[in-house]
Amino acid sequence: MRLAVIGHPIAHSLSPVLHEQWLRASGLFGRYEALDVAEEDLSGLFQAMRDGEWDGFNVTIPYKETVIPYLDELDLAATDAGAVNTVYKRDGKLIGTNTDGAGLVAALSPLTDWSGRVLVIGAGGAARGIISALPTRDVTITNRTMERAERLAERFGIEAKAFVDVDIARYDVIIQTTSVGMDGVHSPQSLNGLRQNTVVCDIIYRPLVTPFLKEAAKKGAIIVNGTAMFVGQGALAFEFWTGVKPDRFVGMKLIESLLEE
């Protein structure tokens, strides 16, 4: 079995370590590579998959939308998200899916029954994929640019609010999807009024604990770092390719150990 993650740049990716561990644990012979691909080489790469040289791809920045014309079909998850992060083959066809949102929902579901209110911070591609996978529509989206938040809110039938109008105390689950916090200094949203035991997730995993999560932890929240979505989306992709459900817990511990080094 030959698998890869494709993007540019790609050297930083932890996907090869994660998937090769799962391949070994599943007793499957194969390898998983990181391919730094130029846009003009995408066509040839997907033709190589049609020809049997590859069994599956993960797709990362900047190609999650660029790859769509090279595929035969998109499933509902990819259509709703408007982006592809996983390509697999069925009956000779290349199918695009998006496992980001479902992967995160699976990771958070042991911590919440989704009966309460959900706040999503950010209105980019990650937010779109997550909102499409949420098992509730009692969702509020907030974003620095309200126009983008309102477009997503209209698409999914949810509420949009400006940062200053968000009452943090109303929410049972808060999901931070922006890149703010990757510098280890800034936070995208004040958590004044946050209730204890609120589930607070930041999809950033470098650093493992962002300023946003540090503030949430001080207020007694249940915090979830970005490895939850990274490992969750990877596990679903692995299942599409192999039919095997990998051990997410082992995957989380592996990735966290690498990020803590």
14 annotated ligand-binding residue? yes
Please tell me the distance from the alpha carbon of residue 101 to that of residue 132, in angstroms, as a whole number. 7
CA nearest 60: which of 41, 30, 87?
Answer: 87
143 annotated ligand-binding residue? yes
130 annotated ligand-binding residue? no
Please tell me the distance from the alpha carbon of residue 25 to that of residue 2, in angstroms, as a whole number. 16
Please tell me the distance from the alpha carbon of residue 138 to that of residue 109, in angstroms, as a whole number. 16
121 annotated ligand-binding residue? no
147 annotated ligand-binding residue? yes
Residues of 42-77 as b/e, b for ≥16 C-beta within 10 angstroms?
beebbeebeeeebbbbbbbeebbeebbebbeebbeb
- The answer to whether residues 111 and 224 touch, using CB atoms and an 8 Å cutoff, is yes
Share in percent of the chain as helix, strand, coil (round to 5): 40, 20, 40
52 annotated ligand-binding residue? no
192 annotated ligand-binding residue? no
CA nearest 171: which of 141, 134, 204, 210?
Answer: 141
Q: Which residue has the tokens 């998850």?
A: 77
User: Directed axis angle between helix 125-133 and helix 100-108, to 10°?
Assistant: 60
- The answer to whether residues 213 and 225 touch, using CB atoms and an 8 Å cutoff, is yes
210 annotated ligand-binding residue? no
126 annotated ligand-binding residue? yes
124 annotated ligand-binding residue? yes
136 annotated ligand-binding residue? no
137 annotated ligand-binding residue? no
CA nearest 80: which of 158, 149, 155, 146?
Answer: 155
226 annotated ligand-binding residue? yes
Catalytic center residues: 64
Pick out the residues of the known binding site. Answer: 13-15, 60, 85, 100, 122-126, 143-148, 203, 205, 226, 233
Pick out the residues of the known binding site for NADP(+). Answer: 122-126, 143-148, 203, 226
